[in-house]
Amino acid sequence: MPELKLPFLGHGGDYNPDQWRDRPDILEEDVRLMKLAGCNLMSVGIFAWSALEPREGEYDFGWLGDVLDRLHAAGISVFLATPSGARPAWMSRRYPEVLRVRPDGQRNLHGERHNHCFTSPVYRAFVGRINRALVERFGHHPAVVGWHLSNEYGGECHCALCQQAFRAWLKARYGTLEALNRAWWTGFWSKTYSDWEELHSPSPVGETSIHGLNLAWRRFVTHQTADFMRAEAAPIREVTPELPVTTNLMEIFGGLDYFEFCRDLDFASFDSYPRWGGPDGEWTALCAAFNYDWMRTLKQRPFALMESTPSQVNWHDVCKLKKPGMHLLSSLQAVAHGADTVQYFQWRKSRGAAEKFHGAVVDHVGHEHTRTFREVQSVSGALAKLDDVRGAMPEVRAALLFDTQNRWALEDCQGPRRDMGYLETVLEHYRALRRHGVALDVIDETCDFERYHLVAAPMLYMLRPGVAERLEAFVRRGGTLVCSCRTGCVDEDDLCFLGDFPGPLRQTLGLWVEETDALYDGEANGIRMNDGRSYTCRALCDRIHPETAETLGVYTADFYAGEPCVTRNGLGEGAAYYIATRPDAEFLDDFYTGIADRAGLECPLRGLPVGVGAMARGGLLFVMNFTGRAVRASLPEGVDVLAGRRTGGETELPVNGVLAIRPGR
Ligand code: GLA
Ligand code: ZN
C-alpha cells in the first residue's frame, strides 16, 4: 500500500481553476498568492467534469495541464481528483439510469451533486473512461503526489439495478432463503420470504420493520459504494501503482461503515467543520479531536486534513467567523492528533452559486490584505517548524470502541427509549479519558484489541461473531475493559441473545442483566460508590445480578435503590468493569482517573484546566487552549518550538493559545 509521503507537512486546499478559465489573470495571481500564503499542496479538479468532458466523449484537458504545469513550476504539489462527485447534465439527460432513485422509488431529476447510482454500469463506464484518460495524461505529471477520489461518498440508490445487486449480495451472504428468514426472524408479522425476487431495500412506503433487513441494507450500501470506489480506482491503480489514493471522509458520518470502506484506501482524509465559537469550547474541541483520532485509527496511519475552513462555513445554522488565533489552534489540533496536512475548502471563493459565501483563503476582494490570509500564513509558519511530527504516529495504549454497525443497530432499536444516545455516550467517555490526558484510538469491533491496555466500549449492543471471545481474551491477558448499559443484546443480524444479556460477554463481565428501566428526559437516578462518593445518572438503568463481579456502587433511588450499578470483574490478569447506566460527567471523570492509573496509562500533562487539550506526537507535546479565555497551566520544562521560547512551571496560556513543546532542560 503506497503511503502519503510528502517532503513537508502539506498546506493548501481545494482549488477550482475550472471555474476561472476565462480569467487567465486570476489563474496567474492564484499562484503568486499561494506562494505568499505558504501553500504547497492543492486538490484540483474535484467537481470539474463538465469542464473536462463538455460533450460526451470529447475531453478538454488542456487547461488542466496548464494548471498542473504552473503549480509545479511554483513548487506546489497536487492531489488530482476524479470528477465523479458531480456529472454533466448531458449525461443525466441521455442516460437517466445514472440518476439516483430515492427510497420511495422516485428517480431524481438532474441536479445537486453526490447523487449518482453506485451500481449503474453506464455511470461506472463513464467514470472508468474519464479516470483512465486522466491518469494516462497526468498520472506521471511531476506535480501529482496522490489521488483524491470523487468527493464525500455517501447516500444510497434504490433503483432496479441496485435491488438486483442487493439480492445478489444477500444470496452470497446467506446462501439460502431459509437462512435469511431465520436470521431476520421473518416469522414475525408474516414476513417470510419465499423467493429472492420478493426482497427489496427498506422504504418508507414499504418495509422498515425488519431490523435484519435494515442492517443488511446498510452493510450492502457500504459494500456497493466501496465496490464503485474500487472500480473508479482501478485504472489509477493500474497506471500509477506508486501513488497513494484517498477520498475525503465526513464528521461522525454514519452512512458508511468507514472501517470497512477504508480497506481500499491508502490513507484516510477528512473534512472538518467544527462549530468554533459556540458556547462550549471544550466540547467542540473534543468532537473535533474524536474525529481526528478516528481518522488516524482507520488506517493506523497519519491522515490528511483534506478540508477545513480558514474562516467560516456557509452551511451551519449560524456561521461564525473564526476568532483571531482560532485558525492556527484548530489546524494544529488536527496535526497534533495525526494529520500530515492542513487543507481548506476552499482556495478561492467562487463568484456564484451555492458556496459563494463559504470561507476561502482568497476572498472576493482578490488580494492578500485580509485577516484570513494572515491567519493562513500563520499556519504555514507553524507547519514549517513542526516537521518532526510528519509521518509520526502518537503512542496510544487506550482505545474507545465506536462501532458504526453497532450504531446502526442501536438507532434502529425500538425500546426501551427512542433515542439511546449512543454517540453522546461514546463522546462522554471520550471526554472523561481525554480530560485525564489519555491518548485514544477510536476503534471498531474488527480492530485488534491486544495493542491496548484499556478498551472502553460503551453500549456495545450488537456483538458480531468472535468479538466477545476476543474481548474476553484481551481481559484475560491483562487488559482493562469498560462496558456500559445495553451491552451484548443482539448478534450481527440483530437477533437477541438467548440466556439473557450481556450475551456472550456474561462471563467476561461476571453478571447478567435482568431488565432495563428507561428514564424520562430530565429524570435522574443516583449512584453511591462504596467509598461514599455519589453521582447522578440518567436515561437507562439496567438491573443487574453480579455473578463473579464485585459491586463498586449501587443505585440510590427507585424500587432498585441499593442494587448494584457499577461492578468490576477480575478475570485472568485483567478486569472488566460494567456501568449499568448513563452516569454524569463527574462520575466518568473520577472513574477513569482510577482506571487509567491502574491500567498504567501515561498521561501527558494531567491536571490541565478543563478545555485545555494535550497531545503528544513526534516528540512534541501540543498544549491547546480551547477555553475561549486566558488560563494558567503548569507546563513541563522544554522549548515551545512555535514561539522559540523556553517553557516550564506556571504559565499563562492566551485565548486560543497553542504550544508545541519539545521537553528537556
Ligand atoms: C464538503 C465538500 C466541499 C464543500 C464543503 C463546504 O466538505 O466536500 O465540496 O461543499 O463541504 O464546507
Ligand atoms: Zn441504483
Q: Which ligand is nearest to the CA of 121?
A: 2
Residues in the chain: 665
Separation of CA 93 and ligand 2 centre (Å): 16
Contact between 398 and 453 (Cβ < 8 Å): yes
Q: How far apart are CA 96 and CA 391, in angstroms?
A: 45
State the pLDDT at residue 208.
97
Grid coordinates representing 656 are: 486560543
The pTM of the full predicted model, rounded to 2 decimals, is 0.98
State the pLDDT at residue 478.
97
Asked whether 273 lines ligand 1 (CB < 6 A), one says yes
Looking at residue 485, the DSSP 8-state letter turns out to be S
Instruction: State what percent of residues in the chain have pLDDT above 90.
Output: 97
What is the tens place of the pLDDT at every residue in 409-446? 999 999 999 999 999 999 999 999 999 999 999 999 99
Contact between 83 and 48 (Cβ < 8 Å): yes
The number of helices, as runs of H, and strands, as runs of E, in the chain is 17, 25
Question: pLDDT confidence of 35, banded at 50, 70, 90?
Answer: very high
State the pLDDT at residue 600.
84
The pocket of ion ligand 2, defined by CB under 5 A, consists of: 117, 119, 157, 159, 161-162
Separation of CA 313 and ligand 1 centre (Å): 9
Q: Which residue has the higher pLDDT, 608 or 59?
A: 59
Report the chain's C-alpha Rg in angstroms. 26
Amino acid at 418: R
Looking at residue 389, the DSSP 8-state letter turns out to be G
For atom 7 of ligand 1, the residue with the nearest CA is: 271
Q: Which ligand is nearest to the CA of 159?
A: 2
What is the tens place of the pLDDT at every residue in 369-389? 999 999 999 999 999 999 999
Q: How far apart are CA 178 and CA 193, in angstroms?
A: 9
As a whole number, the mean pLDDT across the chain is: 97
| Yes or no: domain 10-157+224-388 corresponds to CATH 3.20.20.80 | yes
Question: Mean pLDDT across the stretch 4-9?
Answer: 94
Question: Which conformational region is residue 11 in: left (phi greater than 0), alpha (psi within -120 to 50 degrees), or beta?
Answer: beta
| Residue ranges matching CATH 2.60.40.1180 in the chain | 612-663
Q: Strands 525-529 and 534-546: what pairing?
A: antiparallel
Asked whether 358 lines ligand 1 (CB < 6 A), one says yes
Separation of CA 118 and ligand 2 centre (Å): 6
Q: Strands 631-640 and 645-653: what pairing?
A: antiparallel
Instruction: State what percent of residues in the chain have pLDDT above 70.
Output: 100
Separation of CA 120 and ligand 2 centre (Å): 6
Separation of CA 58 and ligand 2 centre (Å): 26
Look at residue 499 and give its three-state secondary structure. Answer: coil
Strand partners, 102: none
Q: Which ligand is nearest to the CA of 221?
A: 2
Asked whether 47 lines ligand 1 (CB < 6 A), one says no
Q: How far apart are CA 543 and CA 517, in angstroms?
A: 8
Asked whether 151 lines ligand 1 (CB < 6 A), one says yes
Looking at residue 487, the DSSP 8-state letter turns out to be -
Contact between 12 and 39 (Cβ < 8 Å): yes
Among the four given CATH numbers 2.60.40.10, 2.60.40.1180, 3.30.420.10, 2.40.110.20, the one describing domain 612-663: 2.60.40.1180
Query: What angle (nearest 5°) sits at the alpha carbon of residue 421, between those of residues 415 and 426?
Result: 135
Q: Which ligand is nearest to the CA of 100?
A: 2
| Residue ranges matching CATH 3.40.50.880 in the chain | 398-598
Query: What angle (nearest 5°) sits at the alpha carbon of residue 581, between those of residues 580 and 584?
Result: 135
Nearest ligand 1 atom to alpha carbon 250: 7
Q: What does the DSSP assignment read for 78-139?
A: EEEEP-TTS--HHHHHH-GGGB-B-TTSPBPPS-SSS-B-SS-HHHHHHHHHHHHHHHHHHT
Catalytic positions: 152, 307
State the pLDDT at residue 602.
73
Separation of CA 548 and ligand 1 centre (Å): 51
Asked whether 344 lines ligand 1 (CB < 6 A), one says no
State the pLDDT at residue 227.
98
Q: Helix/strand/coil (H, E, C) string of 428-470? A: HHHHHHHHCCCCEEEECCCCCCCCCCEEEECCCCECCCCHHHH
Question: pLDDT confidence of 402, banded at 50, 70, 90?
Answer: very high
| Residue ranges matching CATH 3.20.20.80 in the chain | 10-157+224-388
User: Within 10 A of 454 (CB to CB), how many other CB atoms are there?
Assistant: 23
For atom 5 of ligand 1, the residue with the nearest CA is: 345
State the pLDDT at residue 136.
98
State the pLDDT at residue 607.
82
Q: How far apart are CA 12 and CA 41, in angstroms?
A: 5
Amino acid at 30: D
| Yes or no: domain 398-598 corresponds to CATH 3.40.50.720 | no
User: Within 10 A of 336 (CB to CB), how many other CB atoms are there?
Assistant: 26
Nearest ligand 1 atom to alpha carbon 273: 12
Q: Is 385 exposed, middle or buried (0-12, 13-18, 19+ CB in 10 A)?
A: middle
Asked whether 290 lines ligand 1 (CB < 6 A), one says no
What is the tens place of the pLDDT at every residue in 64-107? 999 999 999 999 999 999 999 999 999 999 999 999 999 999 99
pLDDT at residue 604 greater than cutoff 80: no
Mutate to test the pocket of ligand 1, among 113, 345, 346, 355 (most ligand atoms within 8 A of CB): 345
Asked whether 313 lines ligand 1 (CB < 6 A), one says yes
